[in-house]
Chain A
Amino acid sequence: MALPHPTPDDLRDTDAFEALMWAMARPGTVRSLPEGAADLALALLDRETRVHAEDPELARRIAATGAALVTPDRADHAFCTTAAGAMAALAVLPVGSALYPDEGATLVMPAIIGAGPLLGLTGPGIEGQCRLRLGGLPEGLLDLRSARCRYPEGIDLVLVDGRRIVGLPRSVAVEVL
């Protein structure tokens, strides 16, 4: 039997997932995607998912995976490209339940990594405290996040800056230093 060869899609998806997995497992560390937020969509989404996408071009690519495009209150994944859109989505995305925390949504949103207010992260995946500068976040995002993340319920954030990503899973506490 011939050895199976990875397709370019296989390679991109495994690279994107590797970046996302370590970004989530070590919140506050910066990882690199092959190209950008669209890689995450292609690595995670298929016909079993319900997705909210703000950008029409990305929405078209997501629709081609077979995922259903829905309003944010019904979505299990949301891809936002503006601060206002991310704020609106975070307010209504499903948080799951204590019975099924996995139904809490994943929100991919833009940020400026390495500039802006200094944040201190504590929680699983972090030895002591991790300090990180994050800019471009909408006003009140962190307060809204902590109001909606009543652990184990919650929404997991992926902050994207070009190819770079930082993960903020619901288990992590964020304080502004």
Chain B
Amino acid sequence: MTLSTLTRPWAAISWGFLDASAKREMRRKMIKAIAVPGCQMPYASREVPMARGWGTGGLQVTLTLLRTDSVVKVIDQGADDSVNAASIRRFLSRVSAAAETWDTLEATLIQSRHRVPEERLREDQVLVLQVPNPEPLRPVQPNMSIARQMHADADYGRLWLVLYEQMVRSGRIMQGAAYPALVNGRHVMTPSPIPRWDVPKLHMARHLTFLSAGREKRLYAVPPFTRVEPLVFSDVPYKVEDHADLVCHRSGLRGVFMNEIPQDGGGSAFEASDSHLGIKAIRRAEGAATTIGPMWYEEGRFRP
């Protein structure tokens, strides 16, 4: 075997940016991540033209999944038009000729920073979540070799201790984003810093979810119809944010996750976090023909 049989003629850039070998490694790890839901799989995390910590893990998974007929949506805290989301989306379409969209219903591939869209995802859609810290045990065990052993032993008692201490100190569970959840009854994962509102959307869902941390070089997955159970005490039920009765001041949407916008007078206004859903609601109110898909939450209540 010679080097020339293993290489290809020079090209300025590979289709889908990552070289073939990088994609093969991602593919192998993504298959293993599906086979053991919620278990963190180490991977090499190649260089991409973006700083680590800005979504490089999600980007590598998305680049591996891209097809010529993909339609990509990228959101940053629910918004399609933030600089980070717009740059990633444009990069994806430039390196692969994939189509871009803001609409959850049109997308085949959704890369997201810290939100799950409010419209239900279908069985043909893949959600890629960017993860800053993939290790749910880090607050209780900073040594990652010991944390790995704790995952191997399913030794998660200290996570309940954290929740218990929050109850004792504050009278309620204070964990807001990245609420730890037990996947397939075996591995505890951090669902990335999505709000508590979004965690039930991963439980027994129709879509496939990948979670990938580029800086930490680990990825994990939640296949369709997989149990994702937030850690709770049997007498303290899991509670999502109290947003059921809030109204978006721009679109009039109700019963979706809201961004709180402080006002000069001291109060706050609320705005739908899923920005394109808000846009669709405004268009519909103006009489334009828009389709809003079925939602995870109806009238502020989660519908399984």
Contacts and interface: CB of A to CB of B under 8 A. Distances in A.
B24 A102 contact: no
A25 B41 CA distance: 16
A13 B208 CA distance: 20
Contacts of B148: 99
B224 A125 contact: yes
A151 B36 CA distance: 8
B152 A4 contact: no
Contact of A25 (B28, B34, B227): B34
Given A18-B67, A101-B36, A169-B35, A5 B23 contact: no
Interface footprint category on B: 35 or more
A139 interface: no
Interface stretch (A43-51, A84-92, A112-120): A43-51
Given A24-B35, A97-B152, A156-B32, A124 B23 contact: no
B185 to A, nearest CB: 10
A174 interface: no
Interface string A5-26: 1110111011101101110111
| Contact-residue size bin, chain A (C-beta under 8 Å from the other chain) | 35 or more
A152 B189 CA distance: 14
Nearest to A101: B36
Majority secondary structure of chain B interface residues (helix, strand, loop or mixed): mixed
Q: Give the dominant DSSP class at A's interface.
A: loop
A98 interface: yes
Contacts of B27: 17, 20-21, 43-44
Nearest to A10: B15
Interface string B159-193: 00000000000000000000000001011000000
A66 B184 CA distance: 36
Contacts of A171: 35-37, 184
A154 to B, nearest CB: 8
Interface of A: 1-7, 9-11, 13-15, 17-18, 20-22, 24-26, 43-49, 63-66, 97-102, 104, 106, 123-127, 151-152, 154, 156, 169-171
Given A6-B68, A65-B6, A152-B36, 9 more contacts: A2-B12, A4-B14, A4-B96, A9-B20, A10-B20, A26-B223, A124-B227, A125-B34, A125-B225
27 contacts: A5-B15, A14-B16, A21-B208, A25-B34, A25-B208, A26-B224, A43-B24, A44-B27, A45-B24, A66-B1, A66-B6, A99-B148, A101-B39, A101-B41, A102-B29, A102-B39, A102-B41, A104-B35, A124-B223, A125-B226, A126-B225, A127-B224, A127-B225, A152-B187, A169-B34, A170-B35, A171-B184
